[in-house]
Structure 1
Amino acid sequence: MPAESEDGSRHEIPGLGRVEMVRRAPGPRLRGSVTDLCFYCETAPGRFRNVEYASLTVPLVISFAEPFAIGLGREPGDNDRFASFAAGLYAGPVVIESFGGACCVQVNFTPLGARRFFGLPMSELTDRMVGLDDVLGPEGIALRERLGDASDWTARFAIVEAFVAARLTEARETQAEIAWAYDRIIVSGGRIRVSSLADRLGWSRKHLLGKFSNAIGVGPKTLSRIVRFNRALGLSRQDKSDWADIAADCGYADQAHLVREFRDLAGKTPTTLAARP
């Protein structure tokens, strides 16, 4: 869910209605595993629509009001309703709609942080939304009740941050080899070859794919695609408008390759996406 304010003030969003949004950076115990925490609440009737593009965020959404309508790579249908859930990585656009009654706390994990927190193969969350009771069991249901009873967003942040920190403290560390391979993909901007990673680790590509998918939710090749896409999108929004240069800088074969990847991962052309705020 989008969240921009640090102070909890309400903001008008043109064409959408009235919402309260707060985003907070994680405390020291969560850094490296959580990118941010968000509070989102709709305060007036309306139809709210957001499209999120392929990213490295693994969200945990804890809702105490109406569910969201969510479609992976398409418009959501009548049966695509989700309230409290976790969602793994998805290499495509995600369409999210709500109708004036949504209210939730969202924790945005890094892929490796999510693996530690949930304690299950991240491939079980890939390309899907999984209910809170299925990923956290009775603990998750109790957390939702506590958050629903809390008086304001400050109290909710404190409750959820303490809950996440406790589970991370109890979790085993992620396999060092996978953490290293993940970091190399990020640092290289998605340009490092999978064969190079496997060779450095002394693993076969098949073994690397299995271990990586278990820990991250997607294979190293798919992760590299998402990293390259986000880097190219970032460059396009820094007034670097020559798409041929951006394609070369980000490791695409040519500009046509970049355009295909933008369509796959965002559902839009590069020019259309770069023009969006």
Structure 2
Amino acid sequence: MSAKGEDGSNHHSPGLGQFEMMRCAPGLGLHGAVTDICFYRETAPGYFRDVEYASLTVPLVISFAEPFSIGLGKDPSDNDRFASFAAGLYAGPVVIESYGGACCVQVNFTPLGARRFFGLPMSELTDRMVGLDDVLGLEGIALRERLGNARDWSARFAIVEAFVAERLAEARETQAEIAWAYERIIASGGRIRVSSLADRLGWSRKHLLGKFSNAIGVGPKTLSRIVRFNRALGHSKRDKSDWADIAADCGYADQAHLVREFRDLAGETPTTLAVQA
């Protein structure tokens, strides 16, 4: 399966020549709702393992071949096999395995875009994979059939982009207060206090938590953790600052706090991730 599109926070192990992957930027009509659309096909038998770290991407995967084995925060078991599905936010590492027979289209949504597209509380997708027919019903089944019968990837891109654009055009906008709170968390790098958001909205923290979790899938505090983590990970890849400086810049109490968060959200220490990058 393709990597998380918004953050690039993953480690993919297949060798060259064993898979094909193409990323396409969505048209302007999907701006802010979809980060990218990916096409992935494995071309040779083998063991494929991908670890995706906590991110702000909500994927919709439409498979035409063998399912993936997916474990949330653990190696997948024989019962953890998924073909076409949607997955909500998860504050931890996701382990994905396949064996050379996978082929799929993946649409990577922002949390706000996913709320509009699926038209259901994102809390229903949090920490789980939900089958295509359960999230999109007969429309999803018909979409998969059309994509499977398309002549090539260009045709599939046109089909899936038009389908997503149509649903978004017909969807209700996310409650303005929730969209504002979400954007403030992103803009602050996850450093704004939840109490400050609640005060600005004139809401209690409990009311904000309930509304936010329903719309986004996680509460504002958890979202802030994911934002800080990805900001720190990005810093580590771009410059040679030591981890203490990165921790201070990204709003962690100290380096030990940063290490704990990396273990929770990526399943690895900062040093290990830096070596893998």
Q: TM-score, normalised by structure 1?
A: 0.95
Query: Which letter does structure 2 place at the counterpart of 1:198?
Result: A
Q: Hey, what does 1:231 align to over in structure 2?
A: 231
Residue 8 of structure 1 aligns with which residue? none
Q: How far apart, in 1, do the equivalents of 2:19 and 2:124 lie?
A: 32
8 Å Cα contact 1:17/1:46 also seen in 2: no
The letter of the residue matching 2:173 is: E
Shift of 1:238: 1.2
Task: Give the 3-state SS of the residue equivalent to 2:215 in structure 1.
Answer: helix
1:38 to 2:38 alignment: yes
What is the RMSD of the two structures over their aligned residues, measured on CA atoms? 1.5
CA distance in 2, matches of 1:240, 1:116: 39
Gaps of 5+ in 2: 5-12
The amino acid that maps onto 1:37 is I
Instruction: Give the corresponding residue for 1:97.
Output: 97
> What does residue 171 of structure 2 align with?
171
3-state SS of 1:29 partner: helix
Cα pair distance change 1:93/1:3, threshold 3 Å: closer
Alpha-carbon separation, structure 2, partners of 1:53 and 1:44: 26
Gaps of 5+ in 1: 5-12
Deviation at 1:15, TM superposition (A): 4.3
Aligned AA for 1:103? C
How far apart, CA to CA, are the structure 2 residues paired with 1:3 and 1:18? 16
Give the Cα separation in 1 of the matches to 2:17 and 2:125. 32
1:241 deviates by 3.2
Instruction: Determine if contact 1:115/1:121 at 8 Å carries over to the other structure.
Output: yes
Percent identity of equivalent pairs: 87
Aligned partner letter, 1:212:
F
Q: Which residue of 2 aligns with 1:123?
A: 123
Report the equivalent of 1:248.
Answer: 248
Shift of the alpha carbon at 1:151? 1.2
Shift, 1:276, TM fit = 1.7
Question: Equivalents in 1 of 2:58, 2:14: separation in Å?
Answer: 28
Q: Which amino acid aligns with 2:167?
A: R
Counting matched residue pairs gives 270
Give CA-to-partner distance per residue, 1:74-99, whole Å, 9 cap, x none. Answer: 00000100000000000000000111
How far off is 1:274 after superposition?
1.7
TM-score using structure 2 length: 0.95
Q: Secondary structure at the match of 1:105?
A: strand
Indicate the SS of the match to 1:41. strand
Equivalent residue of 2:244, what SS?
helix
Output the CA distance in 2 between the equivalents of 1:173 and 1:14.
Answer: 39
Contact kept in structure 1, 2:14 and 2:49, CA below 8 Å? no
Aligned to 2:211: 211
Question: Distance in 1 between the 2:167 and 2:189 partners?
Answer: 30
Higher mean C-alpha deviation, range 85-94 or range 40-49 = 40-49
Q: Residue 3 of structure 1 contacts residue 40 of structure 1 at CA under 8 Å; is this kept in 2?
A: no
Letter of the structure 1 residue corresponding to residue 164 of structure 2: V
TM-fit CA distance, 1:14: 5.5
